[in-house]
Structure 1
Amino acid sequence: MSLALAAALSQSIVPHVDLPPPQEDPCAGFEEAEGLSGIGQRAFTLDDQVRMADIGRANPVGAARAIGVAPDGEHIAFVVKRANPEANVYCQRLMIAAMDGSGAAVEVDRGGEFIRDDFRLRDFPAIMAGWDRPNPPRWSSDGSRIGYLKRLNGSTQVWLVDPDRTVPPRQATALPDNVDSFAWTNDGTALIVATRPGIRIQSEAIAREAAEGFLFDERFSPQFADRPIPTGQLETHYSYVSLADGEVWVASSEEARLLSGEAPEGLPARARAYAENDSGIAAWLEPSEPTRLISPTRLVVGWPDGNQIVCEQKACEGIRELWWSSDGTALLALQATGWANSQTAILRWELGEAQPRQILLTEDALVGCTVAGGELLCGREGFGQPRRLVAIDVVTGADRLIHDPNPRLEERTFGTVERLRFRNAFGPKAMRILSCHRTTRPGNVIP
């Protein structure tokens, strides 16, 4: 029995037919809608919500960077994804926009399947998630090419795109395993690529096992699958892919560090959000009560000579992400604060000051941020404002719009949103969101 047949039989408990992928371009309908004008105001509907364009991960908490900044600092690249319910697929477009917000964003590539992320749970190293894998476009050092992940025919690989669109997009890797992430070499002649061959190897073994039946053992988790799931530790493999001839070999330890992001030795075991500036000054979060499973954190800044300063004041509570300013003189932080952590703050800590100062406080979510020049580029969204790309001044906290992927929603009217703040029976602060949307029939309000 062939491997493919065994895999098919193992999943065919009842008769079924796989529908062929749609032949039409899933982005075409949206382009036509964007060209319409003069429709006038109308209520925001569930259909509008399903079709809303998005940039970066849907869940804003801990979302990875979603924007790639060109070496000259004048342009950014990002992937816009938009569900097409009629075709049951996503419209996905790689876009370039000017950093100053002038002109319309330009599409340089489109297509590909939705790339689902995965996560570790118990002894299962790769449970498929409902959100997408981080996919920030990465510019080559000379700005002549953009690399990003694209999934076709069930395989996720690196594709290269010419920002000027003089050369058609091309597939740069053809590895047997899905590419998790990648980085450019410093000279721009090759890519360092991360894969996990163990997923494929175990999955192939499970497919072969299907011919004789599965043993119901620790590899099963019925809420996720009706067949065994790969288990154990999965080693990440780092490969060097030459762009000149496509040759692939094992990356050196130095090359792998371009991608692995290994923190230096000496950090506490549970340290996270590590960030280092060009002078070697590092910052990280570490548990303030290491013996507790869920511990508050404290902010630590360390110098190459071993000196450290620690911020354990209330001003440093709730920090989730860290960056250094472009000149390396100030530490920037994203903080969850306010009632039940319902607000988002940006902090700035000048080296030499006693503690960080707050430069921005908002009830909006800031998603997938990255530093560019004197600004922090983020996706910003609120209850009545879909996600847009903004640049936040890292000194004043003032923001400006770079790109709105949903300009047509300016013509929609939204319902009211109210935050209900209360304490539960045990005392901790809690919050609920009450949203009311008026339908087209007067008098009907749906909470």
Structure 2
Amino acid sequence: MARCRATTGLSLVAALAFGSFSETAFAESKRCELAPREMFGQEGKRGISAEDLVNLTDFGDLGVSPSSYAFELQPGGAFLAVRARRAIVGDDSYCTAIALVPLDSKNRTKVIDDGGDIAPATGDIYGIADIPVGGPKAALLRWSPSGGSLAYTKIAGTRSEIWIYELASASSHLLLSSAVDIEALSWSPDGTAVLFSSRPGKIEALASIEAEGHQGYHYDGRFWPLSGDRPFVSSDIPSIDQAIDVQNSAGRAVRPDDVSALHPSASRPAGSIRFAESNDGSRLAWTTRESDSVSGETALKVKVEKQDIACGWDVCSNIAAMWWSDDGNHLLYQRYTGIGDNRTEFFIWSPGNGKPRRFLSTIDAVFGCRPWQQQLVCAQETSTKPRRIIAVSPSDGRRRTLFDPNPWFDKLSSGSVRRLEWSNEFNISTFGDLVLPPSPRERKRLPLVIVQYDSRGFLRGGTGDEYPIQAMAAQGFAVLSFNRPMWYGSLHKPKDQIELLKASINGWADRRSNLSSLKVIIDKLVNEGLVDANRVAITGLSDGASTATFALSNSTLFSAAILSTCCEAPSTLALAGEALHDFYVEIGYPTSFAANPGFWREGSLMDAPRARPVPMLIQASSGEYRMALTTYRELKGRGWPIEMFVYPDEGHVKVHPAHRLAIYRRNIAWLQKQLSP
């Protein structure tokens, strides 16, 4: 995305994007009560239901990568701020909350405001802006340098807002209302202004597209036919940095130190991947690639008082995140290790004084960390417990809970979880988690459901959250949460992402690797006497759906399938538009069916000559169901037992609470019917 940094006050175009500044407006969205009383007092243990999973209170980004944004830590460390959300299925909405969590555990969490509307996220891809992605659009929270004020974003209908909460007066006021998304948020170093980035040029671009329609649109790379019948705006529209004085709500010039505050990555060493700077700026740490390959090892480099110090131990590689301690004397960092990087380790190191010391090693997802006093504050998910915030002690690795928005969940009975590790025929290793019913089972083989394709953190519903793992286990299924192996192209030491994808797609090598991994683990579970080889279902969204359809095209492992997106086929490239078509051709897909029929006979379910008909359920979004139509019609015409449901107003990841619960319930009921003995 192009970026333009304004050096003057608000431009005319930018000013047109904003409503009037107001200090008296009040949010009108539904405010959450955290850990609502009606969820306590459930007597006795019972299995987890689909309703329990939908009713969880969530906060932060959907992912569990080290950089996933979950909370904002106050300077000085008295509070952290979170934006929480919880589904209200009855009226297909959400309640939200901006909450302050005390770090000393002596006070109670305080909800200071609602968190605005939950809007589906959009993204920039293939040169097009605002493609419907689905899932909740992220909120931004930023403390002022003094810690006395909190700036945060809200969605209110079609507008994006910036609000300010003042600790001293315990009050919030609206600072800005914008017709375009607020994409970055910070404070000026002196705390007198709120800084933000947005793309007000989208307003003019949308008006131009509207006018163009009077003469007919020229069909080109601006179209995303899956989600609309008109062009989208370009992702090259520049982002404008702007500043608002918090005392008078007036725009002011953006200063050089404002730019550094709003875009701290701009000052990082060239080629750095991870970066950390001490509070006083005297100590730097960063990682770089040791080779030209995007899949190569990384090295840790440190500069202390202008002196370069190398970290040459093995434990200094594969670093995912790092931070300097408050006093700047120690570097703390997080790295991945183990089969498929399934284990997370934390280290503390005093550069120049011996080897880094490991203080925590876990298969739990611990992420989004921030240093606080002599500890790390992090978000955490375990395989059986949803997200919470913890403090980790570097002295002994001990963890304690600071914030748990779902204490009632501990009253429920989870299925047992067993971490599995194995290698496929290509000698690529991966892992998964086998979840068995919570009640003691009879000595009989269980039906198995494969859920894809990331098995880190809380085992809720797989990627896209449509397959309720624990709820399915409670109904008597064995469920394998399958973590896809690394991309096959990584073995070829690719120089960039395009090379990696080309090597992965050549001969469908990556899909063959995934299928091999699935076959190895299914055979293992069958040989252990745990599962019934004749009652195995595969499910998937996106990459997981592609793995599922390839498996159905090239094996007889599965007796049923549920897809959240569908399907790899020659028509898919046309339906997705010119930009996506060109990208797929660049990474190795043929330009048409006629150009390489053999390619599609292996990779497209509707063209696969040896595919065995099995019951299939497609649960598609309104933004993507068109991709499924040719495959659906072809398979239905051949007599496959196939049905499809389309969920309105949804993108890639579905967000409506009513839809999420309906999908959970339908998937469970359908699997019970198809996999019954």
Task: Provide TM-score, normalisation by structure 2.
Answer: 0.57
Shift in CA distance, 147/235, structure 1 to aligned 2, threshold 3 Å: same
What do residues 262-317 of structure 1 show as CA deviations (whole Å, max 9, x unaligned)?
4437x333x22211112422111111112x24332111112453x42333542123
Cα deviation, residue 320, structure 1 = 0.9
Cα deviation, residue 159, structure 1 = 0.7
Alignment partner, residue 15 of structure 1: none
Are residue 335 (structure 1) and residue 341 (structure 2) matched? Answer: no
For residues 281 and 441 of structure 1, the distance between their equivalents in structure 2, rounded to whole angstroms, comes to 50
Shift in CA distance, 392/442, structure 1 to aligned 2, threshold 3 Å: closer
Cα deviation, residue 32, structure 1 = 4.8
For residues 137 and 276 of structure 2, the distance between their equivalents in structure 1, rounded to whole angstroms, comes to 22
For residues 473 and 429 of structure 2, the distance between their equivalents in structure 1, rounded to whole angstroms, comes to 37
Alignment partner, residue 391 of structure 1: 391
Of 178, 189, 192 in structure 2, the residue corresponding to residue 189 of structure 1 is 192
Alignment partner, residue 4 of structure 1: none
Alignment partner, residue 20 of structure 1: none
Alignment partner, residue 150 of structure 2: 146
Are residue 102 (structure 1) and residue 134 (structure 2) matched? Answer: no
Q: Name the amino acid aligned to 2:274.
A: A
Cα deviation, residue 351, structure 1 = 1.3
For residues 263 and 82 of structure 1, the distance between their equivalents in structure 2, rounded to whole angstroms, comes to 36
- More strand per residue: 1
Q: Is the 8 A contact 1:343 1:363 kept in 2?
A: yes
What do residues 395-441 of structure 1 show as CA deviations (whole Å, max 9, x unaligned)?
32211111111011111111111222110111121112222345799
Shift in CA distance, 135/326, structure 1 to aligned 2, threshold 3 Å: farther
RMSD: 2.7
What do residues 346-372 of structure 1 show as CA deviations (whole Å, max 9, x unaligned)?
111211134422110011101221111
Shift in CA distance, 124/62, structure 1 to aligned 2, threshold 3 Å: farther
Alignment partner, residue 444 of structure 1: 476
For residues 29 and 374 of structure 1, the distance between their equivalents in structure 2, rounded to whole angstroms, comes to 29
Alignment partner, residue 53 of structure 1: 57
Q: What are the within-5 Å matches in structure 2 for residues 27-426 of structure 1?
A: 27=32, 31-34=36-39, 36-114=40-118, 116-163=120-167, 166-167=170-171, 169-223=172-226, 225-264=228-267, 267-269=269-271, 271-277=272-278, 278-290=280-292, 292-303=293-304, 305=306, 307-426=307-426
SS at match of 1:257: helix
SS at match of 1:254: helix
Question: Which has the greater radius of gyration?
Answer: 2
For residues 473 and 346 of structure 2, the distance between their equivalents in structure 1, rounded to whole angstroms, comes to 42
Alignment partner, residue 12 of structure 1: none
Shift in CA distance, 440/127, structure 1 to aligned 2, threshold 3 Å: closer
What do residues 38-97 of structure 1 show as CA deviations (whole Å, max 9, x unaligned)?
533221112111121122212111434432233342222211122222222222111112
Cα deviation, residue 30, structure 1 = 7.0
Unaligned runs of 5+ in 1: 1-22
Shift in CA distance, 228/348, structure 1 to aligned 2, threshold 3 Å: same
SS at match of 2:222: coil
Cα deviation, residue 261, structure 1 = 1.0
Identity %: 24
For residues 118 and 24 of structure 1, the distance between their equivalents in structure 2, rounded to whole angstroms, comes to 21
For residues 360 and 67 of structure 1, the distance between their equivalents in structure 2, rounded to whole angstroms, comes to 21
Q: Is the 8 A contact 1:184 1:190 kept in 2?
A: yes
For residues 134 and 283 of structure 1, the distance between their equivalents in structure 2, rounded to whole angstroms, comes to 28
Q: Is the 8 A contact 1:333 1:347 kept in 2?
A: yes
Cα deviation, residue 125, structure 1 = 4.9
Q: Is the 8 A contact 1:317 1:335 kept in 2?
A: yes
Q: Name the amino acid aligned to 1:31.
A: P
Shift in CA distance, 427/220, structure 1 to aligned 2, threshold 3 Å: same
Q: Name the amino acid aligned to 2:283.
A: I
Shift in CA distance, 117/324, structure 1 to aligned 2, threshold 3 Å: farther
What do residues 323-381 of structure 1 show as CA deviations (whole Å, max 9, x unaligned)?
11111111111111112111111111211134422110011101221111111111111
For residues 225 and 335 of structure 1, the distance between their equivalents in structure 2, rounded to whole angstroms, comes to 42
Q: Is the 8 A contact 2:29 2:95 kept in 1?
A: no
Cα deviation, residue 233, structure 1 = 2.6
Task: Provide TM-score, normalisation by structure 1.
Answer: 0.85
SS at match of 1:413: coil
For residues 363 and 474 of structure 2, the distance between their equivalents in structure 1, rounded to whole angstroms, comes to 30
SS at match of 1:210: helix
SS at match of 1:427: coil
Q: Is the 8 A contact 1:263 1:274 kept in 2?
A: no
Unaligned runs of 5+ in 2: 1-27, 439-470, 480-677
Q: Is the 8 A contact 1:67 1:136 kept in 2?
A: no
